[in-house]
Structure 1
């Protein structure tokens, strides 16, 4: 939940206090509902944006059967099908986090 996230952010801040190079803290919505009528992901994202010291990405990982299936089979989600929505979500997240790396 968002309040646990705030506590986790504070733990990171305490851990790196006094260090020269501070890590960037990026957050995104994980396990978002795929139904367009469900607004919890938007509300959560808005709440995360109220936290200082973090960057909230617009990217979302949705709750998909492919993630559960890949976990139970011990495979990456793109090994189940590189053209799946789940695989695209992970690849897009990687591109967002590492824009200078070819995927």
Structure 2
């Protein structure tokens, strides 16, 4: 009997956290800070833009974007609803 990819990943000890790259989170946090709302932000990060930034695509173990968003929340980034009606993060560039 042949194992499917999900069974192989579980048996090899691979977890969803293995798809998360801490340096990408650090880069985001060092480059951006949370904005109060959309009218005061420099950029709006929707799900699609976050996925592209982090290269966080769903896999057989789940969605690594959920881990990225949890870590962002722990660092003060709160998802709100944008003017277009989509959930998003409103961010400002950090001054260097």
The alignment's TM-score, normalised by the length of structure 2, stands at 0.36
The alignment's TM-score, normalised by the length of structure 1, stands at 0.34
